[in-house]
Amino acid sequence: MSTIEKRYDLVILFDVKDGNPNGDPDAGNLPRIDAETGHGLITDVCLKRKVRNYVSLKNEEKAPYSIFIKEKAILNNTIEQAYISLNIDLQKDPVDPADGKRRKSGQGQGKEVERAKQFLCQNFYDIRTFGAVMTTGANAGQVRGPVQFTFARSVDPVVSLEHSITRMAVTTKEEAEKQGGDNRTMGRKFTIPYGLYLAHGFVSAPLANQTGFSIEDLDLLWEALEKMFEHDRSAARGLMGTRKLLIFEHASKMGNAPVQKLFDTITVKRKDETKPARDFSDYVVSVNKDQIPQSVTLIEKL
């Protein structure tokens, strides 16, 4: 595995058509919207979930690409399994404890925690990428991930629509009797007609070296960001897809330019302001390359 020696910052543009890209459970699963501006929002957690799902599907949950945060997972069991794999018996005294005793039975301490943390980083892609809090249960410490995302925000305000839908069946016999055999179930569905979303991301080389996040892992991240919607289809989410991935590659570990100045070189504008956008072709994405320092390389994907 090749270590990362450069800092990376990124901008990802993706869109949704006739779907709900990220429902808000606090608002009846309505699309997330900035109440003041009307712009659509998608959480960083949602984006990380899609990356995790893509990596899981591609690598069939095999180490070193296992996924720690996944559906129906019991995290404490996974942490405990790490100690079992390392042949560390958490019921006995540690080999070289700081005070000669185990402070709590069934819980790692001292150098054991660091060994378990390294084991989990080596085997779980999302831990060495996004980090994780593993201080519960058997305790494997805490990992600060080198890759982070911001919320995605729509370029323009979006309109949240509510649709009535009908299922030509009922769940129980009692419901059928109440309807006299009509057997219909009414429901609601929420969509936005169209939204182009923009999110920012960051890759820290020093933190990557701490978790073991490698060049190979980075290449997989770029692939996942490009293709994460291709295997995440859902009737509720409509048509979604990555449109552009713009990566700023610095010449050094610590970076060669403030990230805000780099992001400011990217402009996304609607071609015709007099009518609402309904497709990616309604926008123009431009980059002012003259404002990018020579020590930073722009990599454009898609």
CA distances, 78 to each of 85, 123, 135, 213 (Å): 10, 11, 12, 20
Give yes or no for residue 95 having a pLDDT over 60.
Answer: no
Question: Which amino acid is present at 267?
Answer: T
In this predicted structure, what is the pLDDT of residue 51? Answer: 98
Tens-place pLDDT, residues 239-260: 999 999 999 999 999 999 999 9
Phi first, then psi: what are they for 256, rounded to 5°?
A: -125, 5
The whole-model pTM stands at 0.92
Closest CA to 127 of 201, 60, 217: 217
Greater pLDDT, 214 or 182: 214
pLDDT level of residue 168 (50, 70, 90 thresholds): confident
Give yes or no for residue 182 having a pLDDT over 90.
Answer: no
SS3 178: helix
What is the mean predicted confidence (pLDDT) over 51-78? 95
What is the mean predicted confidence (pLDDT) over 23-35? 93
Give yes or no for residue 164 having a pLDDT over 90.
Answer: no
95: left (phi over 0), alpha (psi -120 to 50) or beta: alpha
Tens-place pLDDT, residues 119-153: 999 999 999 999 999 999 999 999 999 999 999 99
**Average pLDDT of every residue of the chain:** 93
Rounded Cα distance between 193 and 278, Å, is 7
pLDDT level of residue 176 (50, 70, 90 thresholds): confident
In this predicted structure, what is the pLDDT of residue 97? Answer: 52
CB 298 within 8 A of CB 292: yes
What is the mean predicted confidence (pLDDT) over 90-109? 70
* Mean pLDDT lowest among 16-25, 71-80, 158-167: 158-167
pLDDT level of residue 92 (50, 70, 90 thresholds): confident
In this predicted structure, what is the pLDDT of residue 187? Answer: 82
In this predicted structure, what is the pLDDT of residue 99? Answer: 58
Rounded Cα distance between 141 and 118, Å, is 10
